[in-house]
Amino acid sequence: MIEFENVSKSYGESKVLDRLNFRINPGEFVVLIGPSGCGKTTTLRTINRLIEPDGGKVFINGEDISKVNPVQLRRTIGYVIQQIGLFPNMTVEENIAVVPKLLKYPKEKWQPIVRELLELVGMPYKENAHKYPSELSGGQQQRIGVLRALAASPPIVLMDEPFGALDPITREALQEEVKRIQKKLKKTIVFVTHDMDEALRMADTIVFMSGGKILQMASPEELLQNPADPLISEFMGKHKGAPGASLTAGDFMKTRVLKASRKTQTLQSVELMRKRDVNSMIVVNDDDTYAGTVSLDTIKALGKAGKEIGDMMEDQAPIVNLNEDAHDTFEKLYTSPVGYVVVLNDDKTVAGLITKTSMAKAMGEALWGEMLS
């Protein structure tokens, strides 16, 4: 357990940490996030005494760390940095074994650890152990950076924007790996990022900092639903519409829908639907308000060439208002006989359609950001 008690730090006039109080439980994955310069790195580095606070105390398992020899302390806390910092004069194996060797493990003890860890990230010992860092890709290097931090089985691992320099795909793979390893090995991880996606994906608890203070410390869900500060909402930007937050029908609809006046004639309608590869369309009145829907099947069954579609409309499609609560909208969607829901604006004009596909896509976007679009 890590506890901060009124921890403060100033550089000259500027207060970088302002009486921080928080507690991190064993096995918890805590993400520190906030604007640049808000004190994330400083907070992290007070945990392994790379920075000494000038007020307050940090406890690890109840022990005041200012009383612990910093070198000994750091050997029991893993540390991963954005620049990776693998030692270029050492092989992969030597890099991973650095801390075990500092702790005077015999070779019979550290070598199996190296093997096991490499196995854990899918980098077989035989192919990789004797390479130098410069012979690895960025993603592989940071994997080794993570393994180096884990080698002596520290219960706590600190990570400062470890994936900040990686491309999005590698980054995501590593996020998953670290999360999996954390669960498997039951590590307490304190992780700094300025990427809200990453925070939401990985954290059990998010600590949102600003100006050396904690604005909110909460689970990702709680943070999404009840951001304690406008800055947090702003930081989350596109994540406002994540599941659980107050979503409405408008968040899930597709707006490019096929509409036609009720005076449209049958053959023309069939042609329109064929072109768009759909089997039904929305019919609107002259004032553009919603009238009903018409399906290809109905036209085929009832229609003669030259008839107006206004005469063969159906009204089975459920209708919801743009601001209808997401939950009720889903109910209607799942019970809809036509497989979709029509969304109307307040003035009864057509805003869009919700289909199962549009809903899945919108949920995906809410969860994973722009990736799917």
Partner 1 sequence: MGGNAVMTFVAFCIDHQKDIFNCLVRHFQLVGISVAAGMLIAIPLGIFLSRFKHFALAVLRLAGMVQTIPGLVMLGFALLLFGIGLPPALFVLSIYAILPILQNTYTGITEVEKSYIEAAKGIGMTNGQILRKIEIPLALSSIVGGIRTSVVFTVSWATLAGLIGAGGLGDLIWTGLSTYNTNYILAGAVPSAIVAIALSGLISIIQKSITPRGLKGVSV
- List contacts with ligand ATP (CB under 6 A): 11, 16, 36-42, 194
Amino acid identity at 323: N
Pairing assessment for the beta strands 77-81 and 156-160 based on DSSP bridges? parallel
Of the pair 14, 255, the CB lying nearest Mg ion is at 14
The option from ligand ATP, partner 1, Mg ion, none interacting with 91 (CB < 5 to 8 A, set by class) reads partner 1
Of the pair 15, 254, the CB lying nearest ligand ATP is at 15
Of the pair 125, 368, the CB lying nearest partner 1 is at 125
Residues that bind Mg ion (CB under 5 A): 41
8-state DSSP, 325: B
Residue 317 CB, nearest approach to ligand ATP (Å): 50
Which residues have a Cβ under 8 Å from the Cβ of 239 and sit 6 or more positions away?
196, 197, 200, 224, 366, 369
Q: How many CB atoms lie within 10 A of CB 285?
A: 15
Rounded to whole angstroms, how far apart are CA atoms 271 and 210? Answer: 58
The option from Mg ion, ligand ATP, partner 1, none interacting with 16 (CB < 5 to 8 A, set by class) reads ligand ATP
Q: Dump the DSSP string for 261-318.
A: ETT-BHHHHHHHHHHHT-SEEEEE-TTSBEEEEEEHHHHHHH--TT-BGGGG-B--S-
The option from partner 1, Mg ion, ligand ATP, none interacting with 194 (CB < 5 to 8 A, set by class) reads ligand ATP
Of the pair 39, 241, the CB lying nearest ligand ATP is at 39
Rounded to whole angstroms, how far apart are CA atoms 332 and 326? Answer: 10
Of the pair 60, 217, the CB lying nearest partner 1 is at 60
Residue 136 CB, nearest approach to ligand ATP (Å): 25
Sheet-wide strand order for 319-321: 319-321, 340-344, 350-355
Give me 256's structure tokens.
Answer: 């490019």
Contact 178, 172 (CB under 8 A): no
Residue 144 CB, nearest approach to partner 1 (Å): 12
Rounded to whole angstroms, how far apart are CA atoms 312 and 290? Answer: 15
Residue 65 CB, nearest approach to partner 1 (Å): 13
Rounded to whole angstroms, how far apart are CA atoms 202 and 162? Answer: 13
Residue 229 CB, nearest approach to ligand ATP (Å): 16
Residue 208 CB, nearest approach to Mg ion (Å): 15
Of the pair 32, 96, the CB lying nearest ligand ATP is at 32
Rounded to whole angstroms, how far apart are CA atoms 336 and 172? Answer: 37
Residues that bind partner 1 (CB under 8 A): 48, 50, 71-76, 78-79, 81, 83-91, 98-99, 102, 132-135, 148-149, 158
The option from Mg ion, partner 1, ligand ATP, none interacting with 48 (CB < 5 to 8 A, set by class) reads partner 1
The option from Mg ion, ligand ATP, partner 1, none interacting with 179 (CB < 5 to 8 A, set by class) reads none
Residue 57 CB, nearest approach to partner 1 (Å): 21
Of the pair 158, 236, the CB lying nearest partner 1 is at 158
